[in-house]
Structure formats: structure tokens, C-alpha cells
Amino acid sequence: MTVVLVEQPTPDVAVVRLNRPDARNALNQEVRSELAGHFDRLGQAAEVRCIVLTGGERCFAAGADIRAMADAGAIEIMLRQTQRLWQAIAACPKPVIAAVNGYAWGGGCELAMHADIIIAGEGASFCQPEVKVGIMPGAGGTQRLTRAVGKFQAMKMVLTGLPVSAREALAMGLASEVVADDAVQARALELARHIATLPPLAIAQIKEVLLAGQDASLDTALMLERKAFQLLFASADQKEGMRAFLEKRPPVFRGG
């Protein structure tokens, strides 16, 4: 069985779907490797303008595959170089929308945090339970989480291993939007299709500058923003967008 499926409902939108339903989409090396390969390819595909990442309508991902880790030694874990596989998702230049139904626990929560937008169902839950099995988060669960929700909320999640509901996640900044469970996939696709109509160069610059500026000083981040803003005036899409606005017609952005 293919553990990660890729669909393109339209040429400019890709859906990457975890496909281990019997294991609640647990993340083993095969899943991570396939995710990395797909994100590498989709990130370079000129026609793809937005990516939806999902586990389907029942479970996003319930964490790492404990069976594949329980008897491993430290050197074996180090040599797996899983950070390189995660980096393929983190470095994807296209906007990524996580559509989260059910569990986003452990590695699943970390995977969702690699996205740029998180759409969660009312019944979704987010959790970093690694401490309960004698370890700690190892793919961003202490670092990305803290940057998303702040020290005190992050500490509560990683020190207790207790889950938070979708509504709690929204309130603390761990989700972008909460919708009915049966509307998650459609809403994520709706947003992806909307983003796909917008100028790809501007979208790419927004994502790059926003992420790079998070860990920079304000002056440095503002400089990055200013330079990217100026650069976009060399694009055909900027000319098209402003002419369309003045001519009161819908713009057609071609990515140039």
C-alpha cells in the first residue's frame, strides 16, 4: 500500500494525503521519506501554487511509529537523519495548508506545524505526548510550538503530554481556523484554490520573508520585507495586478 498519496484536483493545487489508516497515519521512516520526496517535487513544480497536507477525514497523524523506535539505540536514531526529511517540508517554497481532522499528536502535531495555515475540525486535538514514553519532542515540538503559542502554553503541552482541543489550539495560536469536522477538507481546498489565483512570486516572497524574519531582529526583518517589496515591482504580475485594479477587472496572474 502506498503510504502517502498525491492528488491534484486542479493543476495548480496538490493534495498530499497520509495513507496508513490502520496505524492512524503514524509516521515511520517510509512515510517521512515519501513526504520528503513529494514536497521536493511539488516545491519545484511550476504549475503547483498551493499544497494541502492531510491525513484524511478521520485522523491527521497520531504520532511517530513507536514500534519502529522502541528498541533503537541513540546512534541508530542519529543515523536515521530524520531532520533532513522534515527539512524538505519546512523548506517548501509553496504555501502549505494542513487540513487536520482527529489526532494531530506527537509527530503529527509537529507535521502540522510545518504548514503555513492550519484548518482544524471541531473534533481535532493537538498533543505532544512524548514525555509519556520517556522521550521529548524531536521534530520541532519544543521550538516551533514555542514560537507559535509562547513559552507558557508550550511548556504546559510538552511537560504534561496532555492534548488540547481544536478550539483551545485556535485560542493559543496553534490553528488558523476551526470548522465543522465534515468541512475541513473542503475549506482547506477552498483556501488553496484562492491562494492559487494570486501572484506566485508575491506569495513566495511573503512566505520566505515572514519565516526568515521570525528569528531576525525587527530592523533586519523590516529590511528583508522592504527588499522583497521592491523586488516585486520587477514582476509582470505587479503590472497586471495594478492595471487590473485601475481598469476594474479581474487580474490574471501568470507567475512572471
Residue 68: band (very low, low, confident or very high) from pLDDT cuts 50, 70, 90: confident
Q: What's the grid cell of residue 211?
A: 519565516
The answer on pLDDT for 65 being more than 90 is: no
Residue 153 vs residues 103, 127, 143, 146, 150: alpha-carbon distances, Å = 19, 12, 12, 8, 6
- Residue 209: the pLDDT is 98
**What pLDDT, on a 0 to 100 scale, did the predictor assign at position 165?**
98
Write the DSSP assignment of 96-113 as a string of letters: EEEEE-SEEETHHHHHHH
Burial pattern 166-201, b for ≥16 Cβ within 10 A else e, equals bebbbebebbbebbebeebbebbbebbbebbebbbb
How much is the average pLDDT of 90-115?
97
| pLDDT in the model for residue 63 | 87
- Given 26, 130, 188, 241, which residue is catalytic? 130
Instruction: Give catalytic status of residue 64 as yes or no.
Output: yes
What is the spatial distance between Cα 5 and Cα 253, in angstroms, rounded to a whole number?
A: 29
Marked catalytic residue, from 55, 102, 106, 107 = 107
- Which residues have a Cβ under 8 Å from the Cβ of 234 and sit 6 or more positions away? none
The pairing of strands 125-127 and 164-165 is antiparallel
Q: What average pLDDT score do residues 61-70 get?
A: 86
Please determine, for residue 64, whether its predicted confidence score (pLDDT) is greater than 90: no
168 is an active site residue: no
Query: Residue 70's pLDDT band (boundaries 50, 70, 90)?
Result: confident
Residue 66: pLDDT above 90?
Answer: no
- From 64, 88, 139, 228, active-site residue: 64
- Digit-coded pLDDT (tens) for 109-134: 999 999 999 999 999 999 999 999 99
Amino acid at the residue 244: A
pLDDT of residue 187: 98
Segment 94-123 shows an average pLDDT of 98
Interval 138-163 mean pLDDT? 97
Residue 99 pLDDT > 90: yes
Portion of the chain with pLDDT greater than 90, in percent: 92
pLDDT at 1 over 90: no
Q: How confident is the model at residue 221 (pLDDT cuts 50, 70, 90)?
A: very high
CB 52 within 8 A of CB 16: yes
Average pLDDT over residues 244-248: 97
Contact (Cβ atoms closer than 8 angstroms) between residue 244 and residue 250: yes
Of the listed 26, 108, 110, 115, which one is catalytic?
A: 110
> Which of 63-72, 120-129, 197-206 has the weakest average pLDDT?
63-72
Q: Is 110 part of the annotated catalytic residue set?
A: yes
CB atoms within 10 A of CB 58: 14
Confidence of residue 141 (pLDDT cuts 50, 70, 90): very high
Known catalytic membership, residue 130: yes
Name the average pLDDT for the chain: 96
Confidence at residue 181, expressed as pLDDT on a 0 to 100 scale: 98
